[in-house]
Amino acid sequence: MFLRFKTTTILFCLAMSLVSCSEKDSATQPNIIIVYMDDLGYGDVSYNGASRLQTPNMDAMAMGGMRFNNGYATSATCTPSRYALLTGVYPWREKRAKILPGTAPLIIGTEQMTIPRMLKGEGYHTAIIGKWHLGLGNGNVDWNKLVTPGPNQLGFDYSYILAATQDRVPTVYIEDGMVVGLDPNDPIEVSYRKNFEGEPTGIENPELTTMKWHHGHNSSIVNGIPRIGFMKGGEAAKWSDIDMADHFLNGVKNYIKKHKDQPFFLYYPMQQPHVPRTPHPRFEGLSELGPRGDAIVEADWCLGGLRKALEAEGILENTLIIFSSDNGPVLNDGYFDDADVKNGDHTPWGPFRGGKYSLFEAGTHVPFFTYWKGKIQPGVSDEIVSQLDLFSSLAQLVGSDIRTDDSLPLLDLLMGNTDVGRENLVIEATSRTAYRQGDWVMIPPYDGPASNDNVKIELGSAPTFQLYNLAEDINQQNNLASAMPEKLSEMLAAFETIRGDDYRKTEKLELK
């Protein structure tokens, strides 16, 4: 009888221990979702003052969570920002982290630590559903076979992606390395060097296009839209552009339903409002800004759908959502779609100067908020935080000791529990770098044009140093480099401590 009592007691204690562990896991292993927009500007959301389009779902989550007035992408273009977000490493440390063609090889090493790999080590199921654009394979991909290495070799248990961007071939979805819906009798061929014989292109067959190209986008035509790069075959596998947002959202909903009973990490990189802007017809005219504004409204609806899915499965209160954009805004980015014509007094760049591709603030100063119902109290922060910091901050959240040198553990800031953020940050735009420290921004001299005439955006390049005090000159109109040489020297020394003195690939610059 004593043995039976002792056994029962042991079993009871073991059961209570398991319950205790379960409660601990629930508290320390929330679901984590990163929602990543594509070319969304600081001023493109109504919670930051936009009036010619409404983003009620973004507004509700931003106002119900922590809004960061000084939230940054690491780069003013997409591939570098995505590299930094997933690896916690500055993109200028990886020379291949530039805007990639659809045939580029994977630029993250398969042995490299990433957010999904770190979280997988802590018991998370991990997934990406949306835009990838970090390269696939080894640079010589056969799209008719398993495409590897890719997201699944970097820590993602599940991947459902478009390889690069919506305006680049191949225009197909890829699930766990396999092209979805591919007819083996109609194999895919892709090239970024030359066209395939007999295939129409935007430049030679404009009569076959329903969207006119402005610059660069004049190769293979898919769904009436001329793209970057050449593609042949794979007709059954080609995506429907107007259904892309619904397609990815349905995938997100299915994933949440399937994995609601275990901690999961979902990376949800949307394609909006990147070109070609193809919102579903039910969103047409819901903004005053044409397809670009309508695409943002569509993306806002997707965010609302995400939240409803979490509510329906009863896990909204155990899910941390992080929302931001890969870089700043651009209006005409390759197609005539009236984005610049209908923009009017809308300011997608917010109060800042520049935009996508630019070292000025609007290139990397983007919408950024965290939302966790019942855990994060509504608030706003002026502290500097970078997407670079998500790696170490999420490691903090789940109890991992893994860190990177570039990524700061700022979990308390993201949770609204402190007012201490970054002291400094190196930002990047098309292989050029600049430096923010406190309220000050220093841009070194760079050769090359001051603006991109195609997109009509100032690039931030100048033959001499630029120094701005954002507290007094948020639009960067008053260059203080000549007037404050000591401050400039201080900024340059701090910048070179991080970046090195070879940032121009020339001899070390002397102050002038």
Question: pTM value?
Answer: 0.94
Other CB atoms closer than 10 Å to residue 117's CB: what's the count?
A: 19
Beta carbons within 10 angstroms of residue 140's beta carbon: 7
Evaluated on CA atoms 114, 302, 136, 168, the torsion sign reads negative
442 beta partners: 435, 467
**Are residues 437 and 371 in contact, defined by beta-carbon separation less than 8 angstroms?**
no
Interatomic CA distance for residues 268 and 266, integer angstroms: 6
Query: Is 25 in contact with 310 (CB distance < 8 Å)?
Result: no
DSSP 87-148: HSS-GGGSTT-SPPPTTPPP-S-TTS--HHHHHHTTT-EEEEEEE--S--TTS---TTS---
pLDDT tens sequence across 246-300: 999 999 999 999 999 999 999 999 999 999 999 999 999 999 999 999 999 999 9
pLDDT of residue 139: 87
For domain 29-188+233-424, give its CATH number from 1.10.10.10, 3.90.550.10, 3.40.720.10, 3.40.50.620: 3.40.720.10
Using the Cα atoms of residue 395, residue 401, residue 407 and residue 412 in order, give the sign of their dihedral: positive
Write the Ramachandran bin of 247: left for phi over 0, alpha for psi from -120 to 50, otherwise beta.
Answer: alpha
pLDDT at 91: 98
How long a stretch of residues is the chain? 512
pLDDT at 27: 53
Q: Is 438 left (phi over 0), alpha (psi -120 to 50) or beta?
A: left
DSSP string for residues in 236-252: GGBPPGGGHHHHHHHHH
Which two three-digit tokens encode residue 384?
């500097």
CATH classification code of 426-499? 3.30.1120.10
How far is CA 29 from each of CA 110, 428, 429, 487, rounded to the nearest angstrom? 25, 33, 35, 44
- Residue 130: closest CA among 260, 263, 37, 58: 37
Q: Determine the pLDDT at residue 505.
A: 55
CB count, 10 Å around CB of 493? 10
Helix, strand or coil for residue 365? Answer: strand
Reference 129, options 40, 239, 36; nearest CA is 36
For 481, counting Cβ atoms within 10 Å of its Cβ (0-12 exposed, 13-18 middle, 19+ buried), the class is buried
**Domain residue ranges of the chain, discontinuous segments joined by +:** 29-188+233-424, 426-499
Residue 69's φ and ψ, nearest 5 degrees, are -70, -20
Instruction: Supply the pLDDT for residue 508.
Output: 41
Q: What is the pLDDT along the chain (512 residues), one digit of tens a residue?
A: 333 333 333 343 344 444 334 333 545 699 999 999 999 999 999 999 999 999 999 999 999 999 999 999 999 999 999 999 999 999 999 999 999 999 999 999 999 999 999 999 999 999 999 999 999 999 899 999 999 999 999 999 999 999 999 999 999 999 999 999 999 999 999 999 999 999 999 999 999 999 999 999 999 999 999 999 999 999 999 999 999 999 999 999 999 999 999 999 999 999 999 999 999 999 999 999 999 999 999 999 999 999 999 999 999 999 999 999 999 999 999 999 999 999 999 999 999 999 999 999 999 999 999 999 999 999 999 999 999 999 999 999 999 999 999 999 999 999 999 999 999 999 999 999 999 999 999 999 999 999 999 999 999 999 999 999 999 999 999 999 999 999 999 999 999 999 998 777 533 444 43
Dihedrals phi, psi of 294, to nearest 5 degrees: -65, -35
How many distinct helices (H) and strands (E) make up the chain? Answer: 9, 20
What pLDDT shows up at residue 5?
34
In the DSSP assignment, the letter for residue 302 is H
Taking the CA atoms of the chain, what radius of gyration do you get in angstroms? 24
DSSP secondary-structure letter at 76? S
Distance of alpha carbon 38 from alpha carbon 329, whole angstroms: 9
Q: What is the pLDDT of residue 453?
A: 94
